[in-house]
A and B are shown apart, each in its own frame.
Chain A
Amino acid sequence: MTAVPLRAAAAPPHRLPVAVVAIGLALLLAVAALASLSLGASGLLPWEVILRDTTPAERAILFDIRLPRLILGVLVGAALAVSGALMQGLFRNPLADPGLVGVGAGAGLGAVIAIVLGGLLPVTNRAMLGAYLVPVFAFAGGWAAVLILYRVASLRGQTSIATMLLAGIVLGALAGAVTGILIFVADDNQLRDLTFWGLGSLAGANWTKLAAAAPILIAGLAAAPFLARGLDAMALGEGVAQHMGVPVETVKRGAILSVAAMTGAAVAVSGGIGFLGIVVPHILRLAVGPGHRLLLPLAALFGAALLVAADTVARLAVAPAELPIGIIMALIGAPVFLWILLARRAVLEV
């Protein structure tokens, strides 16, 4: 027993020191960001702008194309990973993901409606909405999904997790069916837009898109740390969390709202990018443990680094064309996800 206090400050033997993980991820993000800014058709290191006379074209590539794309990648990557971690904490299940409860599907449906039916709007409205048309519809779709989920899964302030998962599957199927109909009536141009958008991409990032999405993404990310203690306690069950003084319904509502906001905004500007929300928190739980006070900020860092790195690969792999980033994430994410399922099967015998 006397040995116990001596070990008090050390990390449990099977985990990595938090500082090492945090510094490692920060370095990863820095390298990915530098690569994203400098690599491409015009090889330009960011500091050359100060050190030598650059042409207006070079400056435009750096400041109007690569920089907004980098910032968008950082925010979307962080938001997708944190959304996944929040959802998993809420459902007490490491396989939960916004994609799973229909929030992603709802947002996606909104975006598809905007792409296909947007042309039917009166010209004045189209001009007014402009670049905001797809994002606005995606937000609306994500929010609608959350509202329906809440109506279905929550009764007198109590949310049933199982009902919510089932409702998510139903919403996903419904959104898929409506999307199918819309694809049927879409013309060739719209079809190409849809395909590219559906696979996920940061191409077309600009300051306008960033200005539309950033406030929502940042608000969602900023809300997350306030949910950490409550989500930890909820791992012991909602009843126990209540016994421990956690306002369970407030935490649930907060988590759902920030997930909806972040997923809607991310889907709107980057399409369907999967797996980040499952793979990133899973790896981090193995590295530093499941406590949300560390998990959430580290997930933001890791998610940002991974998405920026994947986006850089997407830009360079088949240059001058671009691969949809969703394909790269799926190529990495799907095997990892299967590995998680296999590992859990061994433990849980399900």
Chain B
Amino acid sequence: MLQATGLWAHLGGRAVLNGVDFHARPGQITAIVGPNGSGKTTLMRRLTGDLTGPGEVTLGGDPLARLSPRALALRRAVLPQAGTLGFPFTLREVVRMGHQAGAAAPEPGIVEAALDEVGLGAKIDGLFQDMSGGEQARGHLARVRAQVWHPVQEGRPAWLFVDEPVAALDIGHQLQVMAVLRRFADAGGGVIAVMHDLNLTAMHAERIVLMEAGRIAAAGPPAEVMTGPLLSRAYRCQLCLNTAPEQGIWLLPHAASLG
């Protein structure tokens, strides 16, 4: 269980998070959605311990502030919204760094398996910087997967924090990446994903947290959060949702309009 209470964040002279309470369960995908600038990345940075401030975050009952970087690295991996790489490392070397960071003793075959999972096995010895944008995004995902390869480690769930994991991907690879996160959660790990694609979110997330101007506007299962009034208010546009229950929830983008 990941639990956070009363999180505040002040950046650039103003409050970006206003006393946010948040929780996420292992075995589930918890999605954080909301418009640009609503504080999703900031909330994630508080949850991963990148940013400190008022409020407390506990991971499996342990206050985040009391875990060393190394101890944290064994229990959670983080995929930032944007990635960089300073030197010409190969894909294999980058993913291996991730695995070495999260494993007390590195296991053979995991680097290859993590790359196969995102469909990059054939490029393993290519230079990371020579790959396309979407391939680099999947390469980074393979790196964080390799860091917490076992969704449950010594009886404790591992956590994946991913900030817009499908933003740069085509529809096929979007589904592939969501399937990677799904399998991780189904095997007992916890996933916290910042998402912009509401249809993918509705398909995969057990719980959706909708943010609006540094506050949580709504949180709950897709059926509760994915409603016309809530979404229209948060995103400041008219959205049309399919309401036939047997078909699941989906947005009709062509029926959306500003105003």
Residues of A bordering B, CB below 8 Å? 1, 4-5, 7-8, 10, 12-14, 92-94, 229, 232-237, 239-240, 242-248, 285, 289-291
> Would you give the shortest CB distance from A340 to chain B, in whole angstroms?
13
* Across-interface contacts of A10 in B (CB, < 8 A): 125
**Nearest CB on B from A161, distance (A):** 11
| A1 B116 Cβ-Cβ under 8 A | yes
Inter-chain contact A289/B116, CB cutoff 8 Å: no
A1 pairs with B121, CB closer than 8 A? yes
Q: In the assembled complex, which residues on chain B have CB atoms less than 8 Å from the CB atom of A289? A: 88-90, 93
Partner of A235, one of B50, B68, B86, B101: B86
21 A-B residue pairs with Cβ-Cβ distance under 8 Å, sorted by A, are A1-B116, A1-B121, A4-B115, A4-B116, A12-B127, A14-B127, A94-B87, A229-B100, A232-B89, A235-B86, A235-B89, A240-B80, A243-B101, A244-B73, A244-B101, A244-B147, A245-B74, A246-B101, A285-B87, A285-B88, A289-B89
How many of chain B's residues touch chain A, expressed as a range? Answer: 35 or more
- Closest residue of chain A to B69, judged by CB? A245
Contact of A244 among B87, B98, B124 (CB under 8 A): B98
B30 at the interface (CB under 8 A from A): no
Given contacts A235-B89, A244-B147, A245-B69, contact A8 B112 (CB under 8 A): yes
Assembly CA distance A253 to B139 (angstroms): 30
A237 touching B87 by the CB < 8 A rule? no
Contacts A1-B121, A4-B121, A289-B93 given; does A233 touch B101 at CB 8 Å: yes
CB distance from B11 to the nearest CB of A (A): 14
Over the window 216-228 of chain B, the binary record of Cβ atoms lying under 8 Å from chain A Cβ atoms (1 yes, 0 no) is 0000000000000
B97 in the interface (beta carbon within 8 A): yes
**Which residues of B pack against A, CB within 8 Å?**
48, 50, 68-74, 77-78, 80, 83-90, 92-94, 97-98, 100-102, 109, 112, 115-116, 121-122, 124-127, 147
Residues of chain A with a CB closer than 8 A to B78's CB: 240, 243
Are A245 and B73 also in contact (CB < 8 A) when A8-B112, A235-B89, A291-B93 are?
yes
A292 to chain B, nearest CB (A): 9
| A12: chain B residues within 8 A (beta carbon) | 90, 92, 125-127
Known: A243-B48, A243-B73. A13 touches B85 (CB 8 A): no
Contact A235 B87 (CB under 8 A): yes
Among B70, B86, B112, B126, contact of A5 (Cβ-Cβ < 8 Å): B112
Q: Are A235 and B77 neighbours in the complex by a CB distance under 8 Å?
A: no
Question: In the complex where A289-B93, A290-B89, A291-B89 touch, is A242 in contact with B69 (Cβ < 8 A)?
Answer: yes
Give A344 Cβ to nearest chain B Cβ, in Å.
11
Q: How far is the CB of A236 from chain B (nearest CB, A)?
A: 6
B112 in contact with A244 (CB, 8 Å): no
B109 adjacent to A232 (CB under 8 Å): no
Q: Given the complex, which residues of B lie within 8 Å of A14, measured CB to CB?
A: 127
Question: In this complex, which of A240, A289, A290 has the most chain B Cβ atoms within 10 angstroms of its Cβ?
Answer: A240
Chain B residues within an 8 Å CB radius of A236: 83-86, 94, 97
Give B29 Cβ to nearest chain A Cβ, in Å.
Answer: 20
* Residues of chain A contacted by B94 (CB below 8 angstroms): 236
Q: Are B87 and A92 in contact (CB under 8 A)?
A: yes
